[in-house]
Structure 1
Amino acid sequence: MDNFEADWLRFHPNSQPVGHLLREAEGWNLTRFHFLPNDRRLAADHDELRAVLERFNRVATATLGEDAPCWLVILQSPNQDRRLGQRLERIKSRYSLTPGWSFFNPVDNLSYQACAGEITWRTDGFNRLLLHVYQTELWDVMWMNKETGAVFRPYDAGADISQPTPNDLIARIASFYGWMPTDGRGYIHFNAAQMATAKFQVTKPCAEAIQKVIAAEKR
């Protein structure tokens, strides 16, 4: 077991670091934000693209913490094409990511290898990588705080995040509830055991936004 695998399983037992399946994880405090209006995937102009990048950073910093020690993780699989493989090799070199944990995911019916490296999260420190994700040149890139297990997983124009407690997740939602998807792609999941003792209050607009996400998810 490598160091990343040990840290991941310490915080997230019985789960694998497959970003596009994060929504299905059990026992996590999870939600999703989307950074463009009307749930669009692409920015209309350079100003909007700059706004997406700024929102990536704001949510990541709130989730992980500024100057926080983190794992940066990308996945490799046998079915990746040559161009993606070359891009991943450049990223592994740039961030000193080491191939380690190998596992089979039954949902995807694929074998993966996690390439991970220890980094410090800093606002605007990973903009090139975030732009690769926005441009769908990379996917399933994740950052995990080494001390809390909090996860930031960007996708084209949004991000899935996890927090260590329901109260922490509610605090993130209270800050960014205006960015929760309204087309049924949004979700809010809590660790059921932790919810037994969790107590929190939110503003009326935040509560209404949460109800819209829950109602859309149930449809």
Structure 2
Amino acid sequence: MDTTGIVDPREFWLDWDKHHKGRQPLGYVLRQDGSLPWVRFHALPASKRYAETEQESGIILSRGNTLASAMLEPSQKCWIISSRCDGEAGLGVPAGGWTEDESDPESLVWKFFIRDEAWANGKFDDALKDLANDAGPYVTWFEPEKGRIYAPYDGGFDLFPASLEEAQALKVRFSDWLSDREDGL
């Protein structure tokens, strides 16, 4: 992985394809795939979707940083994928795109932008706040060594660990943050 600040999208796609060939780097698409280990954690107690107070914002950041650190291991290099479907530029180097339904001219067209950067607790709080408020681009963190993915969204955090055993361990460790629904949503 390039640590000089100049990123080659081909390097990202080579890393991505080692673990997720044929899949798109979007949390909701990965979740719908159904073949990956996956667990969802809610950002706030009682499955509340959006923060209304500073205290609730603090809970979201605390949970978000804790879960990301459990998945990405602090200071470990990872790819950060910024995804947009609104025509705006994302954060990082352009790295291709994807159309949800090629046969539908009204279908969403996603553009991907990448950068590589070490995860650090608190370093990405602004991005986590934006995601919690459904603002800005979708941001997904991808750890290339084992293929783990951390995909926050407005309302929670989708985690794609390297194995079903890791997913189960996360469920046990953070059981208070899980959904009560049978499907995990």
> Does TM, scored on the shorter chain, surpass 0.5?
yes
**Aligning the two structures, in what range does the TM-score lie when normalised by the shorter sequence?**
0.7 to 0.9
Given candidates 93, 101, 108, the residue that maps to 2:96 is: 101
1:60 equivalent to 2:68? Answer: yes
What RMSD over aligned residues (CA atoms) do the two structures have, in Å? 2.1
Say whether the 8 Å CA contact 2:41–2:178 is kept in structure 1.
yes
Of 123-132 and 22-31, deviating more is 22-31
Dislocated runs of 4+, deviation >6 Å: none
Counting only pairs closer than 5 Å after superposition, residues 32-47 of structure 1 correspond to structure 2 as: 32-47=40-55
1:130: which partner in 2?
128
How far apart are the structure 1 equivalents of 2:137 and 2:156? 12
Say whether the 8 Å CA contact 1:5–1:101 is kept in structure 2.
no
Cα drift, residue 49 of structure 1 = 1.3
SS in 1 for 2:61: helix
Q: What are the ranges of 5 or more consecutive residues in structure 2 without an aligned counterpart?
A: 1-8
2:38: which partner in 1?
30
1:194: which partner in 2?
none
| TM-score, length basis structure 1 | 0.73
SS in 2 for 1:32: strand
How far apart are the structure 2 equivalents of 1:44 and 1:111? 32
Q: Matched residue pairs, number?
A: 174
Structure with greater helix share of residues: 1
Percentage identity across paired residues of the two chains: 25
Given candidates 61, 69, 73, the residue that maps to 2:81 is: 73
2:57: which partner in 1?
49
Q: What are the ranges of 5 or more consecutive residues in structure 1 without an aligned counterpart?
A: 188-219
SS in 2 for 1:15: coil
1:173: which partner in 2?
171
CA deviation string 1:22-57 (max 9, x = no partner): 211243111100021221112242112111111100
Say whether the 8 Å CA contact 1:29–1:164 is kept in structure 2.
yes
How far apart are the structure 1 equivalents of 2:47 and 2:170? 19
1:182 equivalent to 2:177? Answer: no
